[in-house]
Amino acid sequence: MTALKLELRGITKRFGSLVANDHIDLTVEPGEIHCLLGENGAGKSTLMNVLYGLYEPTSGEIVVDGQPRTFRTAGDAIDAGIGMVHQHFMLVPVFTVAENVMLGNEETQALGWLDRRRARKKVLDLVAEYGLEVNPDATVEDLPVGLQQRVEILKALVRDAKVLILDEPTAVLTPQETQELFRVMRALRDSGHSIVFITHKLKEVKAVADRITVIRRGKVVGSADPSSSETELASLMVGRPVDLVVHKEPAQPGEVRFTLENVTVLDDFGNVQVDSVDLELREGEILGVAGVQGNGQTELTQAILGLRRPAAGRIRLDGRDITALSPRKTLDAGVGFVPEDRQHDGIVGEFTVSENLVLDLVTRPPYGGGIAINPKKVRENGYKRVEEFDIRTQSIDSPAGSLSGGNQQKVVVAREMSRPLRLFIASQPTRGVDVGAMEFIHQRIVAERDVGTPVVIVSTELDEVVALADRIAVMYRGRIVGIVPPTATREQLGLLMAGVEDPALLEKAATRPSLELDVEDTPRDRHNDGDNDTDTTGGEEGQA
């Protein structure tokens, strides 16, 4: 295979007045895993969409093996040897692996008939060459997520991709599947492929990257070596020192305050999403709900809040049955709720910051009553919460939609935590926020637990669940398959996340050292151009 060198020179991408990428220079050498590290919203995916021909750059150029290229479509990028595996897979569920791999690049016989035998052989050849281990005859919808991801990689390889872009590839994987993906990535690298690995997860960067480029607010703010500490990388991402450790004392749980009794929840099509779940939560403890996205976590939180009526079972808070309450009455009962999608369910972007801070309080004194709202009290509360929760905004009168993602999340957290609570639920509490805002939100969650409030945290970030939770409930296909302490090994948690309930296997996994991401024993030679030292001073101060 002929290796390929890729260069981005001065790439700028504007959407109106928003500068998503600002004069970015990036070189990807042949046969390396180059990590593009940055918080959600930093401009990483936009840059890769420019490279893959999905966006046209406002200015700058793409150079492949010394030749400037213009990509107006993804087909142009594919023809140049660039492939991309998107965070959300683009597969046809009812097609086989071979059919998905060949879709758009079909092999034909005489008279135009599809040559399925040749397509199948191509897949088998690639599987054997790179150790991808997937059955070409399997139907995609029957495959676990990790194998579906391999199908996406096969789609790129069969089109002779020499540079492979992986956009947040571990977001939907168990720890074991992440390990296996890294094995595949190293095999591809060793065969001469280049991989651009987009992520915000520091442990993964250190485990698999050969070089690291850090992007903040659309700009390259520095390069780093994988030997850099997580603290150094986090500081480079945010622009200031960050404490990555969640500091909390051991829980002092009291009496049972919240229960789920045989709760079953259906989706809009009548499919079971939450299957006979039983849970108990005591005052002064944090219950973490772990699992790969799409295993019923969203429907479970919706049922608790009253957004979705359970098909069976009971939900009780302090002995009161709240199963059939509306969302308004559930909030009035003392439930604080941070939704997983803040822009859709958490804020009203056109409303001011101060108005968003009282969205669920405007019918109560002192902020309102009847049809009247007290603007003075709303503004007073706005000033107070902006200071207390360190919300970075030009004014309390600024539209909430104009704030950074981290500050929008702080608005939601501030609103929900600024009233007496009997239960606090946070779904993906730090999704899309930088590590600075993450540090602050974690502190507030722990503080809520410490005043005696029972807390439920739902997160697909396993590190977050382990750091915050006093107990961890693992969901798989709508069921609670295990409840373990946060000291459980990553291997045990990974097995549960994959639906493994065999007591012997779980006991064996529980006695092993915690599963860590494998780092190669012998570091590869880095393409050191003198620019790879960690720079923790570059760029402007990041908004928390």
CA 52 to chain CA mean position, Å = 22
Please check the confidence at residue 35 and state whether its pLDDT lies above 70: yes
Beta-carbon count within 10 A of 255 CB: 9
User: 211-228: per-residue pLDDT in tens?
Assistant: 999 998 899 999 999 999
Q: Is the pLDDT of residue 421 over 60?
A: yes
Residue 335, Cβ neighbours under 10 Å: how many? 23
Higher-confidence residue of 456 and 42: namely 456
> Which residue type is seen at 289?
V
The pLDDT-based confidence of 534 (bands split at 50, 70, 90) is very low
What dihedral do alpha carbons 404, 409, 415, 418 form, nearest 10°? -110
Residues with Cβ within 8 Å of 519's Cβ and at least 6 positions away in sequence, in order, are 206, 207, 226
* CB count in 10 Å sphere of residue 138: 14
Residue 39 has pLDDT above 80, yes or no: no
Q: What is the pLDDT of residues 247-272, one digit of tens each?
A: 899 999 999 999 999 999 999 889 99
Report the distance separating Cα 427 and Cα 366, nearest Å.
29
Angstrom CA distances, 425 to 263, 280, 429, 454, 512, stand at: 17, 14, 9, 9, 32
Give dist(CA 148, CA 435) in Å, integer: 30
pLDDT band of 276, cuts 50, 70, 90:
very high
Q: What letter does residue 228 receive in the DSSP assignment? A: S
Strand partners, 474: 290, 482
Asked if 145 contacts 292 with a C-beta cutoff of 8 angstroms, the reply is: yes
State how far the Cα of 45 lies from the Cα of 50, in Å rounded to an integer. Answer: 9
The answer to whether domain 31-42+81-237 and domain 243-334+420-487 are alike in fold is yes
Find the Cα–Cα–Cα–Cα dihedral 237, 241, 245, 250, rounded to 10°.
-140
Q: Examine the pLDDT at 536 and tell me if it is beyond 50.
A: no
Domains of the chain, by residue range, sit at 31-42+81-237, 243-334+420-487, 347-419
Amino acid at 182: F
Flag whether pLDDT at 16 surpasses 70.
yes
Q: Report whether 96 contacts 47 (CB < 8 A).
A: no
Q: What is the fold, at CATH topology level, of the domain defined by 31-42+81-237? A: Rossmann fold (3.40.50)
Residue 447: per-residue pLDDT: 94
- In terms of CATH architecture, what is 243-334+420-487? 3-Layer(aba) Sandwich (3.40)
3-state secondary structure 127-142: HHHHCCCCCCCCEHHH
Report the percentage of the chain scoring pLDDT > 90.
58
Rounded mean pLDDT of 327-354?
93
User: What is the pLDDT averaged over residues 68-85?
Assistant: 93
For β-strands 59-64 and 219-224, DSSP reports them as unpaired
Whether 441 and 77 have beta carbons less than 8 Å apart is answered as no
Mean pLDDT of the chain: 87
Q: Which pLDDT band holds residue 543 (cuts at 50, 70, 90)?
A: very low
Q: What is the pLDDT of residue 162?
A: 93
The strand pair at 286-290 and 455-458 is best described as parallel
Strand 320-321 versus strand 6-15 pairing type = unpaired
Rounded to two decimals, what is the model's pTM?
0.75
Q: Which helix (H) or strand (E) holds 265?
A: strand 256-266
Mean pLDDT score, 76-94? 89
* Residue 110 confidence (pLDDT): 62
Nearest CA among 461, 516, 462, 519 for reference residue 208 = 519
Q: Which two tokens stand for residue 33?
A: 């895993």
Instruction: Band the pLDDT of 113: cuts 50, 70, 90.
Output: confident
Tell me the C-alpha distance between 19 and 22, whole Å.
Answer: 6
How much is the average pLDDT of 337-349? Answer: 90
pLDDT band with cut points at 50, 70 and 90 for residue 92:
very high
Q: Which residue has the higher pLDDT, 125 or 106?
A: 125
Task: Name the β-bridge partners of 280.
Answer: 259
Average pLDDT over residues 461-486: 94
The pLDDT of residue 111 is above 70: no
**So what's the pLDDT on residue 502?**
85
Nearest alpha-carbon partner for 439 in 76, 39, 15: 39
What is the mean predicted confidence (pLDDT) over 319-324? 96
Rounded to whole angstroms, the Cα distance separating 304 from 314 reads 10
Quote the DSSP letter at residue 431: T
Q: Coil, strand or helix: which one is 202?
A: helix
The answer on pLDDT for 540 being more than 60 is no
